[in-house]
Each structure stands twice: as structure tokens, then as C-alpha cells.
């Protein structure tokens, strides 16, 4: 049997495989496929329930509601930020949080001289990953919709060199 390389296509093909008598499947194999299909459906339901729970938590928490005003930040990112840094009092500035996350270089300033170190990436790698994906989503969206940051991002694109 050959299936297209996609979960959606596999989900569409499984009922036909189970009902088609011309397929050379034993009854044991049909039962196994049916059981796996049932587990798949249960997992999808659990994912939906957990996503709804995260949305409920994010809609109640005041800090999450404040974070939601930032483009690219949704319920999942909001709750992850709050879970990892709490109320944020450990950081005096947003740049300290970004340096802790490994998004910008660490900075040490004394006597009016700023010294930049490397990007450490020692913070929460999951949080860093979802923040980067949120930023990418905002950049892609700004090209379609004209959002408030569009002018700034266009100027940044003209200044920055392309790596791809």
C-alpha cells in the first residue's frame, strides 16, 4: 500500500483501507490499524483540550493580557513567558530579558563604556524558539497586512544584509 506523505492524506485513506475488502489485510492487521486510528483521534482531542486550557489560562491572567498586545505573541507564548520568568522582576530592562534568552548579546557597562559579549543562548530554548517563530509570523504578516511595524521592518530589510 502506498500513501501520500502527509498526515491529512493518511487520515483520509485509512477508512477506505479498513472498509475495502479487496485489500490483502488480515483481520489482525485491520484491528491494529483501527486501534491506531482510534488512538490518533484521542490524541487530537487531547491536543484540542490542552490548547483550550492554555487559552483559558491566558485570558484570565493579567500579565498574559498585557503580553498579548505585542505582535506575534499568542496564548501559548504568553503562558510560556509567564511560566519561565514569573513577574519579570529579575530583569531591569527588556534587553536583559532578551540577553538572558540568547536573542541579543550580553552587555556589561561600566564608566560609560559598554562592552558587548557573545550571544549565550543559555536561557529557555523552547521559549526562544517560539519567540523567533512569532517574530517570523509578524514579518510575514506585515508584508500582507499593513501593520504599525511595517515601515520599521521595511527600513530594516533595506539596511540588513540577506543571508539566504
pLDDT tens digit sequence for 115-126: 877 777 777 888
Grid cell 502527509 is found at 6
Mean pLDDT, rounded, of the chain:
84
pLDDT number for residue 53:
95
Q: What percent of the chain has pLDDT over 90?
A: 21
Contact 23, 33 (CB under 8 A): no
What is the Cα–Cα distance from 107 to 22, expressed in whole angstroms? 68
**Which cell goes with 131?**
519567540
Which helix (H) or strand (E) segment holds residue 143: the answer is helix 125-144
**Which cell goes with 96?**
536583559
Task: Annotate 10-69 with DSSP letters as a single string.
Answer: HHHHHHHHHH-TTS---HHHHHHHHHHHHHHHHHHHHHHHHHHHHHHHHHH-HHHHHHTT
34's CB contacts (< 8 A; 6+ apart) are: 18
The residue that leads in pLDDT, 101 or 149, is 101
Q: How many CA atoms lie within 13 A of 144 on its CB side?
A: 4
Beta strand segments in 91-148, E: 107-110, 113-116
Q: Which residues pair with 110 in a beta bridge?
A: 113
What band does 144 get if pLDDT is binned at 50, 70 and 90? Answer: low
What DSSP designation does 116 have? E
What DSSP designation does 99 have? H
pLDDT number for residue 21:
67
Instruction: Read off the pTM.
Output: 0.67
Q: What are phi and psi of 110, to 5 degrees?
A: -155, 140
Amino acid at each position: 500500500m502506498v500513501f501520500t506523505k502527509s498526515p491529512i492524506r493518511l487520515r483520509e485513506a485509512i477508512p477506505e483501507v479498513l472498509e475495502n475488502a479487496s485489500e490483502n489485510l488480515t483481520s489482525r492487521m485491520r484491528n491494529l490499524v483501527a486501534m491506531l486510528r482510534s488512538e490518533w483521534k484521542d490524541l487530537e482531542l487531547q491536543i484540542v483540550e490542552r490548547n483550550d486550557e492554555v487559552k483559558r489560562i491566558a485570558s484570565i491572567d493579567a500579565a498574559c493580557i498585557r503580553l498579548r498586545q505585542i505582535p506575534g505573541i499568542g496564548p501559548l507564548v504568553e503562558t510560556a513567558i509567564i511560566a519561565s520568568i514569573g513577574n519579570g522582576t529579575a530583569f531591569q530592562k527588556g534587553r536583559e530579558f532578551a540577553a538572558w534568552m540568547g536573542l541579543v548579546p550580553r552587555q556589561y557597562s561600566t564608566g560609560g563604556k559598554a562592552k558587548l559579549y557573545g550571544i549565550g543562548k543559555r536561557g529557555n530554548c523552547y521559549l526562544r524558539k517560539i519567540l523567533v517563530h512569532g517574530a517570523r509570523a509578524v514579518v510575514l504578516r506585515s508584508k500582507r497586512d499593513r501593520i504599525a511595524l511595517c515601515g520599521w521592518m521595511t527600513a530594516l530589510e533595506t539596511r540588513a544584509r540577506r543571508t539566504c
